[in-house]
Structure 1
Amino acid sequence: MFGFAPKSVFDRNSSITYLYQLIADMNKLYPDWILRVYHDSTMESELVCSIECTYDHVDFCNASALGRLGSVSSFVPPKIWRFLPAGDDYVDIMVCRDLDSPLTLRELAAVDEWISSGKAWHTMRDHPMHFVAMLGGMWGFRPVLNRTFSKYVLQTILNRSLVTGYNGRGDQGFLLDNIWPHIQNQIIAHDSFLCTEPYSKNSRPWPTRRLPLSNDTNCFVGCSRPCCRPSKYPFGECPTACRPKNHTDWTMC
């Protein structure tokens, strides 16, 4: 959470509303996980105290004062702060999500399948426009399976001359350039539309079926609130190649 912009989708009030919605989703779907909220120095201490005292599974991390890392806010682009748990010695597993995206049972089923696979890395694509190797808010890593690479991730994030080149929306470029090339044999990707693209060689179908068109919902993993409510899908049927082999009848996969 950073740089609240008046009259934008991430103004202060909207961002705090998204945060409370995310906490509620966490309580339902990830009750044993810890939610880390990376933020800048504009976050009021009263709000931080109120939330942390109410929810024991929520930790706020001020990017201007991160313990032994000190202040990273002066050089690490804000959208990359949330990648820092991948390089934390005390983290065994982490997933990176957007503040304004709901957590869903569909996502949870994919995460559970990833964990069961024994692979260290996970990425998800659930929309025809998710045409990148790794979306900034739809991936996961198990540092406990590769502490050496975890240290590499942290060193790369803290490389001032490198990371400053990924400002603005450069978080996905950072992943593509510095992470993706090294993890091809350690990743699974759940992909509903783009499973035949060059970057999708390790893709697999989603383990759950999307609601059929007649249910009229605009829900997909990674959608921005308000979503997952009655509305038209923003896409059509998924390609046959991206459907489970034993469920090729899943036109909405």
Structure 2
Amino acid sequence: MPMITEALTQALSHHLAGRLDEAKALYTLVLDADPEQPDALHFLGVLAGQVGEVAGGLALIGRALALRPEAADIHANRANLLRSAGRSPQAEDAYRVALALQPDFAEAWTDLAGVCRARGETDQAIVALERGLAANPDLAVAAERLSALLHERGRLLVDTGRFLPAIDPLARAAALAPADADIAFLLGNALFAVGLREEAIQAYRRAAALTPDFVSAGFNLGVALGRTGRLEEAADVLTRTARIDPSQVELLDTLVLSLVATGRVGEAADWAGRTLAAKDAATVANAPALPAMPPAPRGSRERRRDVLAYGLWGADEAMIRGAIGNARLAPTVHPGWTCRVYHDATVPAGALAALAEAGAELVALDTGTAALPGPYWRFLAADDPTVRRFLCRDCDSPLTMKERAAVKAWMASGHPFHIMRDDILQTELIPPGLWGGLAGLLPDLRPLAERFARAEGAHQEHRFLRRFVWPLIRGRALIHDGVHPGQGRPFPDGPFLEQVGAKLRPA
């Protein structure tokens, strides 16, 4: 017996060290001396499975179990071989026998979780892994697999907008894997979405500390800090993050806002210029295939009208007051131009009457069937076969003499299109209410805008212009820009105090 014990000890040492041939020889030697030695049968069966002899391994382990049916570890290893043979139902039964014999068998719980996960039973897998960790909190493989499952579950919940139920699995995953930046980031997103801003900030800080170049974590941390009134820190965090990746345009837009909010106007102007350059680079690199513009407007002979185009819907007081005011100003600021207002039935009848009395041309749109949301309506002037020149404007931005001078300079320049930017925060390549051009050069915008709005939303007209119009007109537009270095030419000189595109002040 001492010789058998010694031989088994040596065999197991070889086995654990990966010296399988030496281990097999000693196990076989033991069985030659005692064919019913259960440990030798067990371990030789495990070894057989390791070298691909699963059937032989199962037979050996079956003999071991016949001699020692109460041995949980032998049942668990039989389950491992059954699982490797693709016999998952039998493997699960064997794991459960092992666990019935030894409820604190952490490794068996962990392996059972793998079977449950493979058949799509994630809940059961999570329960099994929790049982395994309860039995042995130091079992690293159980902690790793549990954190991965909870991470996966939390991501799915966040991605589908179910933020509250995502918090518990992500918090548990973060406790199990405190060095995982993505888990901390997702937890921050869930916490922020349900209004737990301080907790979200802590999670974002952890993600950013773990992975200093994690741009999304830095961006969201900056946003969260801003939402909690820590504007200076938000601006600093966003600045650091933008330096890591200055191509992220949403990050850059938010940074410019934060710098303006903290009075850091010089920095804001610099970053706003970089924002425009980044948007230009990204837009050109990803431009859709669009037809080339013709050398001259289509149907030039029929195009005789110059149109100031507005879109108006609803009963918003500032929008209505601004539209009426602009209709009255138009003959003075842009003599010879028609003030056209695209509208729907949601505009009060009294407002429409006042617009008509002020000289506006009213174009009614049937929004019950139209696929084009209101913010895009003014772009329809570019499709009108009777229009020579068009200017797209915002109802709530009063026309100014500074604008008049800029438009006159454009018409004299020979450029087919015109863009204006007169505020640091105007970081769009084409501000939707401050552009215009010769009609008949662009492809019909309505079908493009309808498809875009269905996919992206009603209030994404700035992104529509960036994607579909900017690639066609960049290099063919006169850009008046007095605030972003290198992004256009200054506005014409004059005694102008107004800001082009400024919003109407409250009544």
Normalising by structure 2, we get a TM-score of 0.36
Aligned counterparts of 2:456 and 2:494: Cα–Cα separation in 1: 36
Q: Which residue of 1 aligns with 2:363?
A: 61
Q: Which residue of 2 aligns with 1:17?
A: 321
TM superposition shift of 1:15: 3.1
Picking from 369, 394, 400, the partner of 1:98 is: 394
Q: Does 1:222 align with 2:222?
A: no
Larger radius of gyration: 2
SS in 2 for 1:113: helix
TM superposition shift of 1:44: 4.0
Q: Structure 1 residues 115, 166: closer, same or farther in 2, change over 3 A?
A: farther
TM superposition shift of 1:35: 0.8
TM superposition shift of 1:205: 1.3
SS in 1 for 2:480: strand
Indicate the structure with greater helix content. Answer: 2
Q: Which residue of 1 aligns with 2:57?
A: none
Q: Which residue of 2 aligns with 1:177?
A: 467
Aligned counterparts of 1:73 and 1:192: Cα–Cα separation in 2: 42
Q: Which residue of 1 aligns with 2:444?
A: 152
Q: Which residue of 2 aligns with 1:86?
A: 382
Q: How is 1:1-253 mapped onto 2 (pairs within 5 angstroms)?
A: 1-4=312-315, 11=316, 13-45=317-349, 47-49=351-353, 51-52=355-356, 54-55=357-358, 57-64=359-366, 74-143=370-439, 147=440, 149-157=441-449, 160-196=450-486, 200=487, 203-209=488-494, 219-226=498-505
Q: Which residue of 2 aligns with 1:214?
A: none
Larger mean Cα displacement after TM superposition, 82-91 or 37-46? 37-46
Unaligned runs of 5+ in 1: 5-10, 65-70, 212-216, 228-253
SS in 2 for 1:82: helix
Q: Which residue of 1 aligns with 2:244?
A: none
Aligned counterparts of 1:208 and 1:168: Cα–Cα separation in 2: 37
The count of aligned residue pairs is 195
**AA matched with 1:224:** K
Higher relative contact order (CA closer than 8 Å, sequence separation 6+): 1
Aligned counterparts of 1:82 and 1:21: Cα–Cα separation in 2: 17
Larger mean Cα displacement after TM superposition, 112-121 or 161-170? 161-170
Aligned counterparts of 2:318 and 2:480: Cα–Cα separation in 1: 30
TM superposition shift of 1:58: 1.3
| Maintained 8 Å contact 2:320/2:395 | no
SS in 2 for 1:79: helix
Q: Structure 1 residues 222, 194: closer, same or farther in 2, change over 3 A?
A: same
Larger mean Cα displacement after TM superposition, 179-188 or 160-169? 160-169
TM superposition shift of 1:166: 4.0
TM superposition shift of 1:115: 0.5
| Maintained 8 Å contact 1:77/1:164 | no
Unaligned runs of 5+ in 2: 1-311
Q: Structure 1 residues 72, 126: closer, same or farther in 2, change over 3 A?
A: farther
| Maintained 8 Å contact 2:375/2:461 | yes
| Maintained 8 Å contact 1:110/1:207 | yes
Aligned counterparts of 2:396 and 2:323: Cα–Cα separation in 1: 8
SS in 2 for 1:150: coil
Q: Structure 1 residues 18, 39: closer, same or farther in 2, change over 3 A?
A: same
| Maintained 8 Å contact 2:323/2:355 | no
Q: Which residue of 2 aligns with 1:249?
A: none
SS in 2 for 1:60: strand
**AA matched with 1:89:** P
TM superposition shift of 1:21: 1.3
Q: Structure 1 residues 50, 194: closer, same or farther in 2, change over 3 A?
A: closer
